[in-house]
Amino acid sequence: MPPKKEHDDKPLTGVALIKETCRRIRVARSYWDAHNNRACRGERAKALALYESLKEEERQKIPQVLRVWLRYRSEKYFGEGCTPPGGGRK
């Protein structure tokens, strides 16, 4: 069995931060497409936190399709006016 990779505790910057943000958005989209809302909510929150830590010129480097998906889903389905998770079950 290969040894586990050690993760650096340094915060991401520059290109690495942009790539990680794109990756998180893509993972959230795949969970959304699979109707896995709980996992989508968690990944979207992580992606949004990374996205908001970007500077304006770095945000422009994220593909527009991903930026639109993140904003649209964030406001429409996960915003303040949405139904809380697990609220409609009986």
Whole-number CA gyration radius for the chain: 15
Domain boundaries, the chain: 14-76
Per-residue pLDDT, 36:
87
- 45, two tokens: 């929150």
- pLDDT, tens digit only, all 90 positions of the chain: 677 666 655 677 788 899 999 999 999 999 998 988 888 889 999 999 999 999 999 999 999 999 999 887 666 666 666 666 666 555
CB distance 4 to 41 below 8 Å: no
Residue 25 tokens, joined: 């958005």
Instruction: Compute how many other C-beta atoms are within 10 angstroms of the C-beta atom of residue 87.
Output: 7
Q: Which helix (H) or strand (E) holds 69?
A: helix 64-76
**Rounded distance between C-alpha atoms, residue 30 and residue 48, angstroms:** 16
